[in-house]
Structure 1
Amino acid sequence: MALPLATAAIALSLPLSSAALAAAPADPPALRVCASKGAAPYAAVDGSGFENRIAAIVAGAMNRKAEFVWTDKPAIFLVRDMLDKGACDVMIGIDDGDPRVLTTTPYYRTGYAFITRADSDLKLTNWSDDDLARVRRIAYQFHSPSEEMLKQTGLYEDNLIYQYSLINFTDRRNQYTQVPGDVLVSEVAKGAADVAVAFAPDVARYVKASSVPLRMTMIDRNGMTAAGKLVPQQFDQSMAVRKDDAALRSELDAAIAKVRPQIAAILREEGIPPMEPGLGQ
């Protein structure tokens, strides 16, 4: 029995439709971004972090969508426990040249800064300034170049009890403990600390939003210990991929080049001071 003409036409068209479907390009994979739930103001689950925005525009330049992969662990564990294990594919905001990963071309430069009240007469621009001798109470970040430099100034021991009060005297042994950026800024704003010193991206939005006028001054030169060890204060920031993923790094480099103006605008809005590459000693 012959097939009806309409049925035959449909049957004849099926192989062509299947071939056409097979030839249709698949959607590009999402750009899986490693992130810690406790990493605000960098990345935030609600999307309010400035790295959420940077990831979105970079992914868009790659014709992808940014998909954040979250962990409850602090950000210092992202390479070991997330990136290296394949849970995600890219990190946003890591020191250029970090030996654990492949880093992209840097997309901004930043560093540590002194935060004082705008009405303070302290004039601080680096760790050699004479006005450091006038500081009685200083808040800082643990595990940082600032902590190392404070040990050179004599301020470290004098501030230990105060500094530990900022973390409710939590024992730092065998656990990662840090003073949040908003706490550092609040201590200065309310006059509990004469000055705070912090990585600028950690505190910029809180300085900008403070109801008490504050001043953030980027440290303008590297520190030096009594033994002659250089203590860098400024760092180029890159994105990072696994060491065997050079292809993705190349894609990211191309995307970063396309959206540099947009990245710069996000950083300005965040309140992170723009810096040029290079640093005097």
Structure 2
Amino acid sequence: MHPPSSRNAAIALLTALFSLAAPASAETELRVCADPDNLPFSNRNQEGFENKIAALLADDLQAKLSFYWQKQRQGFIRETLGAGHCDVVMGVPHGYERVRATPPYYRSGYAFVTPAGRHLDISSFDDPRLRDLKIGLHAIGNDGANSPPAHALASRGIVENIVGYSMWGEESQANPQGEIVSAVANGEIDLAVVWGPIAGYFAKPYGNAIQVAPVPADSASPEMPFAFDIALGVRKDDQALADRLAASLTRKRPEIQAILAAYRVPIIQPIVGSTPSATDSVAANH
């Protein structure tokens, strides 16, 4: 075997250097942990606003986009992000202790959903009419009563007129998250207290027939948050990815805001930014 020519040696050297400098394939792929049936956030057809924002960020980062699908049940973070199947969760409350969060990209809260024609105009949990109205709530925890609205109503003894709706539904049920809004439109319940992005999205087909109004902080429990800064979450030790995503969020902010508006996500200003609230906890959708 003859020794390589100087030209071949130079090519070999450049190839070696390029292989060292080029990013690994994992670094050029944005692997997103997502629920396959959780509109308006995500679904397998990539119709949710988190799917759209993930595609926007992947394009900005010149990365291939892929989704790891898993139902958002107990253990979701551990079994997706923690198990290494994917690298980013598109919606976590800023300050959530199980992930490293980017700066938040939107802030939203709970909403009162009522039939516009009845002019209920509920604006507080202290409204005495709430004792007589049939109120819909999402049952989202093991006890079915752990959301801030459930606590606010229970603390006032408003429990007998509560109607619970599953956040997840049966496997065969399409868009179970929206059933509670349909119940308001159909007159099955008088009003619902719903996480804002769900309320805005599922009220949209009903046009002006459904009113969506923000829920203010509970005067009886001011320490309990009703609004949350929502961020992207990565593994705690993945500072590099968090930084790349944070920069991309900044660059693509106008486009992200347009996507949120198209999905009628109720936005609360200001977004707190990099300083999480001490009382932040997991919002209803995650």
Please tell me the TM-score bracket, short chain as reference. Answer: 0.7 to 0.9
Corresponding residue SS for 1:94: strand
Of the three residues 248, 269, 285, the one matched with 1:276 is 269
Paired residue for 1:186?
182
Distance 2:73 2:263 in 1: 20
Paired residue for 1:51?
50
Distance 1:77 1:211 in 2: 37
Of the three residues 224, 231, 240, the one matched with 2:224 is 231
- Paired positions, count: 253
1:51-87: CA deviation from partner (whole Å, max 9, x where unpaired): 000111122222213211112x325532111111111
5 Å-filtered alignment, 1:132-147, equals 132-133=130-131, 135-142=132-139, 143-147=146-150
Is the 2:29–2:66 contact (alpha carbons within 8 Å) kept by the matching residues of 1?
yes
Unaligned runs of 5+ in 2: 140-145, 170-174, 273-286
Identity %: 32
Is the 1:223–1:232 contact (alpha carbons within 8 Å) kept by the matching residues of 2?
no
Distance 1:277 1:56 in 2: 25
Q: Does 1:242 align with 2:245?
A: no
Is the 1:114–1:124 contact (alpha carbons within 8 Å) kept by the matching residues of 2?
yes
Paired residue for 1:129?
127
Query: Shift of the alpha carbon at 1:116?
Result: 0.5
Paired residue for 1:64?
63
The structure in which a higher percent of residues are helix is 1
Query: TM-score, with normalisation over the residues of structure 1?
Result: 0.80
Query: Shift of the alpha carbon at 1:126?
Result: 2.7
Is the 1:223–1:230 contact (alpha carbons within 8 Å) kept by the matching residues of 2?
no
Query: Shift of the alpha carbon at 1:12?
Result: 7.5
Distance 1:75 1:110 in 2: 22
State the superposition RMSD in angstroms: 2.7
Unaligned runs of 5+ in 1: 1-10, 171-178
Greater shift in the superposed pair: 23-32 or 265-274: 23-32
Query: Shift of the alpha carbon at 1:241?
Result: 0.8
Residues 232 and 180 of structure 1, relative CA distance in 2, 3 Å threshold = farther
Paired residue for 1:156?
159
Distance 2:231 2:74 in 1: 15
Is the 1:53–1:266 contact (alpha carbons within 8 Å) kept by the matching residues of 2?
yes
Query: TM-score, with normalisation over the residues of structure 2?
Result: 0.79
Is the 2:30–2:63 contact (alpha carbons within 8 Å) kept by the matching residues of 1?
yes
Instruction: Pick the structure with greater CA Rg.
Output: 1
1:132-181: CA deviation from partner (whole Å, max 9, x where unpaired): 24x4211111231111112123322333xx43xx45xx9xxxxxxxx933
Distance 1:183 1:77 in 2: 25
